[in-house]
Each structure stands twice: as C-alpha cells, then as structure tokens.
Chains A and B, each alone.
Chain A
C-alpha cells in the first residue's frame, strides 16, 4: 500500500501524500511527544518531519519499510528540537526496584480502565528522560522489536537494551511516586 502511494507522489500527485499523514500522524506524534514532552512542540516536530519526508521521498529505498524510515526522521527532528531547548530531566533517585514492587505495579495498572491507563502512561512518560521514554514508547506502545528500534533511533542494539532497562526502572519509580498521590 505504502509503495503505491510513494509512486503516486513521485509521479507528481501531491495529494497522494495525505495518505501518509492520515496513517502515520498519531504514531509519529507519540514518538515526538515522548522526546520533546510538550504537545505544541511535538506537533511542530511531526509537521516538520512530514515536510522533510515529502522532500526526501525520492531518496527512500523501496526495500525498506516506510514507517521505519519516517519514524527515524521524526526521532532526528525531535532530538534536534530538544537540543535547542535544553530541558531539565526530573531527578528520579538512584535506588533499586524490587521484583515485588514491579509485580505490584503491574497488577495495579492492569486493573485500570483503558482511558485511565492512557492518562497514567502519558504522565509517566513525561517524567522519564527523552531517550528512555522514546524506547519505551516504541517497544511497548508501538510494538516495535529491538531491531526495528535500532533502525529507527540509530542507537546500537546494546544501547537500546540498556535504555529499555533503565526506562523500565524509571517507569516503575515514577509509578511508585504517583502511587502515593492519585492512581492507587
């Protein structure tokens, strides 16, 4: 399907690009917001990424997946954006999370309704460092595997695994912090 619309756009049918916007804008927004942590900035990142993708579509190799190629543009644009606006990460503390705590968290969030769970995850991702939140978003929400995340982010496989581990730990830390406040 993607290949058909790519050919249409390359043959001069600009309107065919709408298909890509409709198909990928929400996922791209999720990726962007996990990095920039701000809705308006994330929308700007998605918009810029689509324009970059449109301009560079001729350089896209048809043997690759359009989504992987496009998410990589989104990640690069978002990382450039946060480089300009140095944002301070929340200090999450340097302590270990026990298996019991993890199990308790998983059980508790497993009981939440879909909307409450979305709200909770959104809040948690906002407090996790950009790269970790990005890897968690791609792995847990967008269902990308480690190899795909490696291609999208240009991080090494080992780095992706480290970020995933750290991201999970921070995910539970933020959850435990919030547990005292609202959700549990």
Chain B
C-alpha cells in the first residue's frame, strides 16, 4: 500500500521535476552568461502558458505544436527586451538589473491582464493515459516530460557542437579572451538572453501540459520562487545543473509526501516544501556553489 503510493509519487515527482528543470534552465543560462538575475522570470512562464491556452482554444492547435510558437514568441520577446532595456544595464550595478527585470515582469503581467483579463482559465486536451496498477499516467504529463528532455538535449548538442554555442561558452569562461578572439560579445549576450527567455516561455507551455488549469496572469510568482531555489541548488549559472536540480526538487516535493504521511499528526503536504528547502540548505552547506556550480 505505502510502497505503491510511494512509487506513484516518485513517478509523478520525476515527471514534475523534468518540467521544473526546463523552467529553470533559462534563468540559469541568463545568469551564467550575462550575470543578470531575471526576477521577472515567472511572467515569461505565464506568457508561455497563455500561448498554449490561446493556441488551443482559438485555433485548436495541440499544446505540443504550440512549443514551436512559444520558441518564436520567446526569442522575439527576449531580443526586444535585451535591445531596449538589458543592453543598457549590462555594466550597471546589480540592483539596477534586479529592479529592471522586476519591472519588466510587472509590466508584462499588467499588460497581459489588460488584454486577457484577471480570470483563471484552462483547457481540456483529453488524450487518455497509461493505466498502471497503482496510478494513472496521463499522456499529457508524459509528453511534457518527454518534450523537456528533448529540448534540453537539443540545447546541449547546440552548445557543444555549433560555433555559436561554443562562442557563448567562451564568453562565459573569459569575456576579454573571447573578445580578443573576435567573438562579438554583444551578439552573444543578445542571443543568450533570447534563448533563455525562449526556454522559459516554452516551459510555460509544458507547465500547462502538466497542469492545464489555473492559468492566470499572476501564476508566475510561484514558479519564480521555485526556479530560484532550483537554480541555486544546481549551481547558479549552470543550465545543466539547473536541469538536474529540477528532478531533485520534484522528487523531494512529491516523494517526501508519502514518507511524511507516516508521521502521525502532521499535514504532509505543507511539510514537503519544508523538506525541499531544508535539502537546499543542506546542499548549500556541504557545497556552497550548488551541485554543478564551478568556482
């Protein structure tokens, strides 16, 4: 009985972790390359969620296909935001970029509210699922998980095989050196920021595959918080670390539930967050740079 529930929760935790991972990669990438902390992270996730919602309700485009739309929307948004705001702040003190990205987040949320209203919306893409003896696994969640892995893998290949990807890594390692070698650092910055935002918007689509209801202009806040924890857990600035940390976070959140439930007199759900944050503290105590963090 307990074993069955534990198994179910671990599977769900893994699936959720995959989505968390992708939802954090963009944040880590932007920090790693530009040293900018994107406090408006959640707003871009929200844009992705609405992309999936509108594509589905207006044009009946399945959310999986919306990923392509989300990537384009994200690249465009990232590029515009970089050119208009972030570019001017690259050499400014950290607080300026923090405030600027916070402002961007609020701006996007309020603009979305103006156009889309404050209501909670959702969609129903019922495509069945797999019936396991101890739980049901909807295909939508499996797709979300699969897409997350595929996108992360594609990004990995792009980073390690292509010239542009290598240029980005060079800038991360040594900005001056990269400049000397003729790499257009500003272009690398623009590209990284755009890719980071595109990843984030895409993860918004995956979030709705996992939870197709409760889509709202202010939904991003919770994800921002989780993304920061995961990013730190994985070593800020390391997209791959963030991806792995996402799994750990998902597992801790869902997996610990069954075990906590064995303690009499506690509300296990409220405690799962406590457990995840305690794990974060412990990991930081043992390895202050995070799981895959360098220096």
* A pairs with B: no
A interface residues, Cβ below 8 angstroms from B = none
B interface residues, Cβ below 8 angstroms from A = none
